Chains A and B, each alone.
Chain A
């Protein structure tokens, strides 16, 4: 399959990953690369913006333009780069702490505004880089050094995303590269904000939500499921426990993106416009 493509997988080999052997992040990296190859995107056409955490290192391990930003802040960097140059394919990459904890406010509002970017969240339900504290998505009762009595109620990113106005909300699993790469492709192809929450086993700090634990629970959404039905999607979003749905849980097509609404973008990518101080001349009369 891959060899038929104009863009080769080898083009996406970056630095050697510093993740733990067996980490779910490897599956995510492979799925990202496969999606980019299959979409025939070349590295220079892609901008990967990440935060801080083990997840945030992903851009260095593939190839593309890279802005590895602060903990919790990839979204504002990514959406602004997209406005400045809408020709770029912009993918933001976070961990669950990065996305739903430190960056929670950006997460909420970017979905409401429907920026045309893809947001990949490596959700290992733990803070891995800082060595194993509870995260906003840790299961209730999850015991860590900072939560000796167990974690409290988790945030449900899928439900939050649907309610906050996201136009593409999907969940996938790092242990299923075929499924994950198809979700990433769909997310990139979607016009508008696409959230892909990826269940990612952390072999070092999360001994509860393991590959086995996820495998026993995840199931692909049945063919009759209609992701355009917002109420049904809300109900689906609440499913977590013995059975965990993966797939496109909610999708709304045809919604104007934030970029569509920007008057300044009507004349093409702002980065291609010439700068000319004399244009400001016409503004002075108002002050006389």
Chain B
């Protein structure tokens, strides 16, 4: 078989809120996913329902790609503003597809291709609303894609007559482009393999939760976490999940704890402000040793911040939030695929160590789409930790029994002859409130032993990627994975010596392996979407080592490979900068 040249084509769809930007983007992503491509798509939108400017970038590649690219190869402009705003991002060989009947007086140094979308939609389907599908057909023609895949997708997606009408609209665009597009678009996309899944980080988390046997979610709507609640609500019936939208986030976390205490795997999901309200409940999970999974989809703060933008500004907060000392785990998925597996692990850690587990994502990861290989459910394990088996005749059960590793077998209420008691007050082994200094010490120490167990047996230590010794070491966490990976590849292609440490299991902090890696680093940079370098602060506190370089971004936009490399050009010794 002939080796095909790698392809990497970046589409952008732009328009007002309400004009269908996301639906076009998702269909485009899905059709390429069905052809075996790797697709990564991010969304940029404002906190409004109509108007404003929205866009989605759909990067389609023959190689695994997990970051956005700033250079646009094909721009599908639903309104004029899209053309005006995104001109500068267009590649020299880029094409703009727009409807010249409705968008007038367009100026561009790129190649303009007008498709009479509204007119064709009206003629072929009797419905002007299908003009976006006409545009999709034209776009697919330019890259020479297989229309049979599009037909199948439209039929699956819309169904019935609406599906057929969309097929007609897509073909109208395709045929129009075949006859009227006179130049050669430089990129060809021909299907390369078996279909992949195409989904968002939020959807990956929700699927991970269902696979892991989560039976309870209580969550209060807040961008970007809302889709988790919405998805689980649509599956409540088929998957037997209790789904509650309570009065506030305080209720949400306390409900999750009530359900968990009664015996279910339970979760909640929110963003930073909602997490702020949950903090006392987090402590309650800690002291009552009630397992619970909490998703914090970060957005720029403080307070309301930028509701529809991204940031990694809650790391320092979530690792320390709530009064007193108690163990917790903080996991930050690196990719959309990782989000599924991290969620499965979160439920297992929560029950094995009887602790709250925080899944830290952000708007970028939560709302972006990526292709993944179909999740293999046979690889999902459910570990409910130590469950108490009632000894005949006795109700000697002690919920908070002091044990060597700090973990006390769990029993659930409603078991004959077994009474389960717990308390947010400091309690004795049986779960009843106490003020005894001795019992206090025993319970604090038992919880501290769980922290130790969690750190050494629960958290997977991070690995250094690339050569052990390099001139430059980049350090990132969570959703910046794809951007850093690509930046490192760019550096290596330029002949630089670089390696990279990425953390997706952040707390308890894997201090020893990180310290070892940093001992070998010459020049190091953290790459973080926040204003103060929160990971660098934690590294300093936990290892005593200072990471001097910081590539930070806090304007609410995602970190991209180009953003990282631009900073290194100005700041890194690798590029001859002197410090």
Chain A residues packing against B (C-beta within 8 Å): 15, 43-45, 47, 49, 52, 57, 59-60, 63-70, 73, 75-81, 83-85, 87-88, 105-106, 108-109, 262-265, 267, 270-271, 273, 275-284, 287-288
A residues less than 8 Å from B254 (CB atoms) = 69-70, 73, 76-77, 80
What is the bound-complex CA distance between A69 and B250, given in angstroms?
Answer: 12
Docked Cα-Cα span, A75 to B265, in Å, equals 19
**Interface residues contributed by chain B, number (CB under 8 Å):** 74
B174 interface residue, CB < 8 Å from A?
Answer: no
- Tell me if B210 is interfacial: C-beta within 8 Å of chain A: yes
B474 within 8 A of A: no
- The docked-state distance in angstroms from the alpha carbon of A87 to that of B263 is 13
Across the interface, do B210 and A284 meet the contact criterion of CB distance under 8 Å?
no
CB distance from B233 to the nearest CB of A (A): 10
B213 — nearest CB in chain A belongs to which residue? Answer: A275
**Which residues of chain B in 343-382 are interfacial with respect to chain A, using CB atoms and an 8 Å cutoff?**
374-375, 377-378, 380-382
Query: What would be 26 A-B contacts, judged by CB atoms less than 8 Å apart?
Result: A47-B262, A66-B423, A67-B288, A67-B423, A68-B425, A68-B433, A69-B424, A73-B251, A73-B284, A76-B250, A76-B255, A81-B258, A81-B413, A83-B216, A84-B216, A84-B242, A84-B266, A85-B412, A85-B414, A264-B237, A270-B240, A271-B264, A277-B212, A277-B213, A287-B203, A288-B30
Q: Given A44-B413, A60-B432, A277-B212: A271 and B262 within 8 A (CB)?
A: yes
A282 neighbours in B (Cβ, 8 Å): 238
Asked if A277 contacts B237 (CB within 8 A), the reply is no
- List of A residues within 8 angstroms of B250 by Cβ: 73, 76, 105-106
* Chain B contacts with A in 240-262, Cβ cutoff 8 A: 240-244, 246-248, 250-252, 254-259, 261-262
Report the Cα distance A79→B284, complex, angstroms.
17
Q: Is the CB of B263 within 8 A of A84?
A: yes
CB-based nearest B residue for A46 = B413
Contacts A63-B419, A262-B242 given: A273-B413 contact, CB under 8 Å? Answer: no
B residues near A68, Cβ cutoff 8 Å: 421-425, 433
Stretch at the interface among B102-110, B192-200, B459-467: B192-200
Among all A-B residue pairs, the 9 with the closest Cβ atoms? A275-B213, A80-B258, A65-B413, A76-B254, A84-B262, A77-B258, A277-B380, A66-B421, A80-B255
Q: Is A79 touching B258 in the complex (CB atoms < 8 A)?
A: yes
Q: Are B419 and A43 in contact (CB under 8 A)?
A: yes
Q: Decide if B258 touches A263 in the complex (CB within 8 Å).
A: no
Interface residue from A44, A263, A264, A277 paired with B419 (Cβ < 8 Å): A44
Cα A127 to Cα B384 in complex, Å, equals 41
Contact present for B413 and A47 (CB under 8 Å): yes
CA distance in complex: A288, B33 (Å): 7
Q: Give the complex CA separation of A79 and B421 in angstroms.
A: 17
Check B456 for interface membership: any CB of A closer than 8 A: no
Interface contact A287-B288, CB-CB below 8 Å: no
Chain B residues with Cβ below 8 Å from A76 are 218, 246, 250-252, 254-255, 258
Question: Please, which residues of chain A bring their CB within 8 A of the CB of B30?
Answer: 288
What does the 1/0 interface line of B55-94 toward A look like (CB < 8 Å)? Answer: 0000000000000000000000000000000000000000
Task: Report yes or no: A279 in contact with B239, Cβ–Cβ below 8 A.
Answer: yes
Per DSSP, are chain B's interface residues mostly helix, strand or loop, or mixed?
Answer: mixed
Contact bitstring B175-210, A, C-beta under 8 A = 1, else 0: 000000000000000000001111100010001001
Q: Does B400 contact A (CB under 8 A)?
A: no
- CB contacts (< 8 Å) of B433 on chain A: these are 57, 60, 68
Q: Is the beta-carbon distance between A85 and B235 smaller than 8 angstroms?
A: no
Closest-by-CB residue of B relative to A84 is B262
Does the CB pair A273–B281 fall under 8 Å?
Answer: no
Q: Is the CB of B215 within 8 A of A44?
A: no
CA distance A69 to B377 in the complex (A): 36
Q: Which residues of A contact B432 (CB under 8 A)?
A: 15, 60, 66
Min distance, Cβ B367 to any Cβ of chain A, angstroms: 15
**Interfacial chain B residues near A83, Cβ < 8 Å:** 216, 242, 244, 259
Chain B residues within 8 Å of A281, by CB: 377
Nearest chain-A residue to B280 (Cβ)? A70
CA distance A109 to B246 in the complex (A): 8
Q: Beyond the given A75-B251, A262-B242, A264-B242, could you list 5 further A-B residue pairs with CB under 8 A, ordered by the A residue number?
A: A44-B413, A85-B263, A87-B414, A270-B216, A276-B213
Bound complex: CA A79 to CA B262 (Å)? 11
Task: Please give, as numbers and ranges, the residues of chain A lying within 8 Å of B395 by CB-CB distance.
Answer: 44
Is the beta-carbon distance between B248 and A67 smaller than 8 angstroms? Answer: no
Residues on A with beta carbons closer than 8 Å to the beta carbon of B420: 65-66
B375 lies within 8 A of A284 (CB): yes
Q: What sequence of 0s and 1s flags, for each residue 28-43 of chain B, a beta carbon within 8 Å of any chain A beta carbon?
A: 0010011000000000
Whole-angstrom distance between the alpha carbons of A278 and B210 in the complex?
Answer: 10
The CA of A58 and the CA of B105, in the complex, are separated in Å by 77
A211 smallest CB distance to B (angstroms): 27
CB-nearest residue of chain B to A106 = B251
Q: B431: CB under 8 A from chain A?
A: yes
Cα-based distance from A104 to B381 in the complex (angstroms): 41
Whether B382 pairs with A287 at a CB distance below 8 angstroms is no
Greatest chain B CB density within 10 A among A63, A278, A281, A288 is at: A288
Partner of A45, one of B262, B280, B374, B414: B414
Complex: A52 Cα to B431 Cα, angstroms? 15
Which residue of chain B is the closest to A282 with respect to CB atoms?
B238
A288 in contact with B198 (CB, 8 Å): yes
CA distance A197 to B323 in the complex (A): 32
A44-B264 in contact (CB<8A): no
B residues less than 8 Å from A278 (CB atoms): 377-378
Q: Contact: B216 with A271, CB < 8 Å?
A: no
Which residues of A lie under 8 Å from residue B211 when comparing CB positions?
277, 280
Check B5 for interface membership: any CB of A closer than 8 A.
no
Q: Please tell me if B123 contacts chain A, counting CB pairs below 8 Å.
A: no
Instruction: With CB as the reference atom, state the residue of chain A lying closest to B288.
Output: A67
Question: What's the minimum C-beta distance from B550 to chain A, rounded to whole angstroms?
Answer: 37
**Given contact pairs A73-B250, A85-B263, A267-B240, A280 touches B210 in the complex (Cβ within 8 A):** yes
- Option from B196, B199, B281, B412 in Cβ contact (under 8 Å) with A73: B281
Name the contact of A67 in the complex, choosing from B203, B242, B261, B418 (C-beta under 8 A).
Answer: B261
Query: A84 CB to closest chain B CB, in angstroms?
Result: 4
**Complex Cα gap A80–B279 (Å):** 19
